[in-house]
Amino acid sequence: MTRINASVPAVVLGFHYGGLGVARSLGRLGVRVHGVDRDRRAPGLTSRYCRTAHVWDCEQAPVADTLSFLDDLGKRVGPAVLIATSDAAAVLVAEHADELAPRFLFPRPSPRLVRALTDKREVFRLAQQHGVPTPAVVFPQSRDDVLAFLSRAAFPVMLKAINPTRLERRTGHRLLVARTPEDLLRQYAAWEETDAPNLMLQEYVPGDDTTVWMFNGVFNEWSECVAAFTGQKLRQHPAYGGATSLGVCAENAAVARLTMDFMRALRYQGVLDIGFRYDGRDGLYKLLDPNPRIGATFRLFVDQQGMDVARFLYLDLTGQPVWLAPMRAGRKWIVEDADLDSSLARVRAGRLTLRGWRESLRGVEEGAWFARDDLRPLWRMSGRLAGRALRAVARRLGLAPLGAGVAWLRDAWGRVVHRRVKSLLGAVAFGTGLHRVLLREKAVIVLFHRVGERSGKDGLWSTAQAFSDFCDFFEQYFRVISLGELLDRLASGKDVSRCLVITFDDGYRDNHDVAAAELSLRRLPACFFVTTELLGSRAAPSWATSGGVQPVWMSWDEVRALAARGFEIGSHTMTHVDLSRTPGDVATREILGSKRRLERELGATVRHFSYPFGEHDQITEANRAVVRMGGFECCLSAYGGLVAGGADAFHLQRQPVSPWYISPTHFGFELLEAAMQRPLGLKHAVPERQVQSAA
């Protein structure tokens, strides 16, 4: 394969094994891949080829919020290739192409066509219109329609979703092979949404899994196919009717020609994943499911120079020449966990022997999860699989305590053993000077909340001794500077290697009594972000009462005393609202009102702003614009991460300190993980299960 220019990063929406395959395929070429998935524990996000992991549900979040999130991500990673791995994401990108185009590169198919290709009713209509064979289909609107169908039906019958994603979200299933009228009626009643029918009845085309053929390809803006691959299913999951769990790359000129003619007629452009079933009764290949996006099976299809559809798409969008070589016929690809389950179902049904299973695996070149150079996703997936197996055994045997014991062991590993190992590794890394290499051109902004008293079992607090230990650690291994100095360094291009800024949020009195006293003795700078209308009050909002501990706020005199001692004071809004869920006029008042109040009380300009509840999805571009307009010089988040040299001052990340860290070196180890840009599943400062209070 010729050398490529990998300077343009890629953003992948959806990070199950399909998204993981994209990250590995492009990452091995040197492309920086950024992953987005609704599940922060998705195995794919642990890949070494996933530079940054972002938690966002593109299917369920409001469209406006998703567009704002993607715009913000695009600003941070630079112009990037945008790759959807689900139908919902493909529709989102197509229908909002104009809004996304300033930040991303992606194909521009007709939004109406993309939506049609994800709707089984529309697919059937388009196929009939253009002479593409399909199984017979009925779209019932009620149980009466199903009963009428039964009077002429031949079983088995396929019960499928018109919108598979919608059904899978509700039931965990996409289809059923109904073998009796009773099965069909029972499952129809359980799955159908009477107010918005989403089920269809499809003729069952006889034949085993090997009668299903797949096409993967890339179509340019003139609907010319610039890359074409065909292959055959060997096993599916669920067994006999689902996604490919074992497949083989194989030539099928008839399937390729049928697909290319169909897409040319539709004037489609972009990546396509489509399936057909060969019907031996009439010798026709009948259309099953088109996907106007990269399919989860795409790594089955590779040519002799290592090219797949993800690489073809990347090169095409970045304007680089590419030529298709002959595909690697006979190459096999497997989804390890799914194929094991499918194979066991076949064994139980008497349709697969141990010898036959071994023979079927001959020629497997790649797995969806396993990769010698990227083992973490496999370990994460295996852990999930083992947990499900143990829970199933416990349910079967009626051993509820076994399930509880497994959960306890997993929790103990995460809370004690794993963290102690990280603490030890952190001590080694900092003791040997490795941090000097990994933190080159990277600064850290740390975030504290309460200091001096325990605030419940979880939450965001540090004891006075723990805070002192962290200060020792910071002084020994970092250059502790003020937030203002960091902003000056970022603006002027000066070195920020190992610079560290200490910040506090909310305005607790112990920040004045305990933290500031410790910092003053050490002559360390810090910035205190305060919520103006909580100061001097007895307010006890729910986010501040973790563990039943009532908050005690600083007075204005104490805030003025901090400023007089040289500490920076910043805004944290007026009442600590979630700005992403607040009407625009209220959010503007919260941001600008806090600045005016601070400047009036302190008699000085306030330059710094930090977001309450500062997660990815709680920071919008509209509010960031208000912060800029209001005269602030920076915006700080609270979702973790480092600050690279030259970073935008309005996109500064902070690393929260919480009881999750058993020592400063544990905290330091996870900083180094972040510096390597390899999310390992425990990248976030406060694990999801521990977040009780807000920044």
pLDDT score recorded for residue 546: 63
Q: Collapsing DSSP states into helix, strand and coil, what is residue 447?
A: strand
| CA proximity to 123, closest of 371, 278, 290 | 290
C-alpha to C-alpha distance for 323 and 153, rounded to whole angstroms: 48
Higher pLDDT: 600 or 323? It is 600
How far apart CA 90 and CA 94 sit, in angstroms, is: 6
Question: Where residue 333 falls among pLDDT bands split at 50, 70, 90?
Answer: very high
Question: Which pLDDT belongs to residue 253?
Answer: 96
Helix H or strand E segment including 158? strand 157-161
Kindly give, in sequence order, each residue whose CB lies less than 8 Å from that of residue 614, ignoring residues fewer than 6 positions away.
636, 637, 638, 639, 654, 695
Q: Among the residues of 294-417, which ranges form H helices?
A: 309-317, 336-348, 354-360, 376-397, 400-412
User: For the chain, how big is the Rg over CA atoms in Å?
Assistant: 28
- Going edge to edge, which strands form the sheet with 80-84? 50-55, 33-37, 10-13, 80-84, 104-105
- Among 119-123, 340-344, 420-424, 684-688, the minimum mean pLDDT is found in 684-688
pLDDT confidence tier of residue 417, bands split at 50, 70 and 90: low
Tokens of 511: 């920040």
* Cβ contacts of 624-632, under 8 Å, gap ≥ 24: 624/72, 624/650, 626/587, 626/588, 626/591, 626/592, 627/591, 630/591, 630/592, 630/595, 631/595, 631/605, 632/571, 632/595, 632/606, 632/607, 632/608
Among 91-105, 244-258, 263-277, 403-417, name the one with the lowest average pLDDT: 403-417
35-82 pLDDT, tens digit each:
999 988 899 999 999 989 998 988 888 898 899 999 989 988 889 999
Please say if the pLDDT value at position 447 is more than 70: yes
Q: Does the pLDDT of residue 683 top 50, yes or no?
A: no
Q: What is the mean pLDDT of residues 236-264?
A: 91
* Helix 164-171 vs helix 87-95: crossing angle, to nearest 10: 130
Task: Check residue 230 and give its pLDDT.
Answer: 97
DSSP 355-385: HHHHHHTTTEEEESS--TT--HHHHHHHHHH
Q: What percent of the chain clears pLDDT 70, i.e. is strictly above it?
A: 91
Domains and CATH numbers, the chain: 10-106 (3.40.50.20), 136-203 (3.30.1490), 206-367 (3.30.470.20), 413-690 (3.20.20.370)
pLDDT in tens, 157-179: 888 888 777 777 777 777 888 88
User: Where residue 625 falls among pLDDT bands split at 50, 70, 90?
Assistant: very high
pTM of the prediction? 0.61
Going by pLDDT thresholds of 50, 70 and 90, the confidence category of residue 348 is: confident
Which of 223, 695, 215 lies closest to 445, judged by CA? 695
**Contacting residues for 379 by C-beta, under 8 A, at least 6 apart:** 46
Say whether pLDDT at 393 is over 70.
Answer: no
Q: Give the other-Cβ count within 10 Å of 285's Cβ.
A: 21
What does the alpha-carbon distance between residue 684 and residue 640 come to, in Å, rounded to a whole number? 6
Mean pLDDT of 265-278: 95
What CA–CA distance (Å, rounded) separates 87 from 422?
Answer: 39
| pLDDT value for 251 | 96
| Residue 445 one-letter amino acid | I
Number of alpha carbons in the 13 Å side-chain half-sphere of residue 211: 18
DSSP 103: T
Q: Kindly list the distances between the CA atom of residue 121 and the CA atoms of 22, 132, 187, 227, 276, in Å, as whole numbers in the listed order.
A: 30, 14, 20, 28, 16
Question: How many whole angstroms separate alpha carbon 38 and alpha carbon 59?
Answer: 9
Q: Residue 366 — pLDDT band, cuts 50, 70, 90?
A: very high
Residues 6+ apart with CB under 8 A from 464: 451, 452, 514, 518
| Rounded Cα gap, residues 514 and 177, in angstroms | 67
Is it the case that residue 351 has pLDDT exceeding 60? yes
Distance CA 516, CA 528 (A): 10
Output b/e per residue, 346-370; b: 16+ Cβ within 10 A: beeeeebeeeebeebeeebeebbbe
The average pLDDT across 629-656 equals 92
Mean pLDDT computed over every residue of the chain: 88
Q: Cα–Cα distances in Å, from 675 out to 426, 439, 443, 495, 689? A: 13, 6, 10, 16, 24
pLDDT tens-digit map of 585-611: 999 999 999 999 999 999 999 999 999
Max CA pair span of the chain: 88
Q: Which among 651, 591, 579 is positioned nearest to 626, based on CA atoms? A: 591
pLDDT in tens, 453-494: 765 555 678 999 999 999 999 999 999 999 999 999 999 999
**Assigned token pair, 85:** 């791995």
Q: Which of 86-90, 549-553, 579-583, 652-656 has the lowest mean pLDDT?
A: 579-583
Q: What is the pLDDT of residues 298-310, one digit of tens each?
A: 999 999 999 999 9
Beta strand pairing status for 10-13 and 33-37? parallel
Position 398 scores a pLDDT of 64
Bridge-based pairing state of the strands 175-178 and 157-161 = antiparallel
Query: Is the per-residue pLDDT at 687 higher than 70?
Result: no
